[in-house]
Structure 1
Amino acid sequence: MATTEKRKIQVQIDQPVTIKAEKIMQQLGITPSVAVNALYSRIVATGGLPFPLQLTKDEQVAERLHAATERAIAESRIESSSLKTPEEIKSWLEEE
């Protein structure tokens, strides 16, 4: 049986993401190397990424909320220091 030549790649991934992903991979019984190999294999097989690159519904809502807050701050309708959390921002936006 012929051995396939390997190539080492290096990537930087945010630590919170790696921690969560590695817990899931451990539950699945795979290593990060297996996951990356599977991803690369699917890219080759499909001619592109095997999933859409788009924001989730929650990310879309958070982005709209952020944009609305930025507009309100820019229009001087609120003091930026008065809203610290997404819940405070949401509450303020719902009052109008």
Structure 2
Amino acid sequence: MTQSTKKRIQVQVDRVLADEGDAVLTELGLTPTAAITMFYKRLVAEGGLPFSPKLTQREKDELAIQKITTTWPVTELKTPELIKKWAEKDD
């Protein structure tokens, strides 16, 4: 039997995303190592990403909103008086 050599892969992921991903993996009974191994096996078997890297409809909508609102004026509400004046201006 041949002995397999291992290679360490280190990546940096946003902490919140990593925590959320870990929670999903725990529910699935998987470790991050098992999930990454599965990903690599599918990557090799399919000769490419095992999913379609595209935006969801929600992500597309969020980008559209960001694009539309980039030129909107921003009002800084630094004091209670400014907040009150801003809140009452629509009355």
Q: TM-score with structure 1 length normalisation?
A: 0.73
Q: CA–CA distance in 2 between the matches of 1:53 and 1:37?
A: 19
RMSD of aligned alpha carbons? 1.3
Higher relative contact order at CA 8 Å, sep ≥6: structure 1 or structure 2? 1
Higher helix share: 1
Tell me by how many angstroms 1:79 deviates. 1.6
Aligned length: 76
Structure 1: give runs of 5+ residues left out of the alignment: 83-96
Partner in structure 2 of residue 32 of structure 1: 32
What percentage of aligned pairs have identical amino acids?
Answer: 33
Q: CA–CA distance in 1 between the matches of 2:75 and 2:52?
A: 37
Q: CA–CA distance in 2 between the matches of 1:10 and 1:23?
A: 20
The one-letter code of the counterpart of 2:22 is E
Partner in structure 1 of residue 75 of structure 2: 81
The one-letter code of the counterpart of 2:75 is S
Tell me by how many angstroms 1:4 deviates. 1.6
Tell me by how many angstroms 1:81 deviates. 2.9
Q: TM-score with structure 2 length normalisation?
A: 0.77
Rg: which structure is higher? 2
SS in 1 for 2:7: coil
Tell me by how many angstroms 1:80 deviates. 2.2
Q: CA–CA distance in 2 between the matches of 1:31 and 1:10?
A: 15
Q: CA–CA distance in 1 between the matches of 2:42 and 2:60?
A: 27
Alignment of 1:31-50 (within 5 A): 31-50=31-50
Structure 2: give runs of 5+ residues left out of the alignment: 77-91
Q: CA–CA distance in 1 between the matches of 2:52 and 2:75?
A: 37
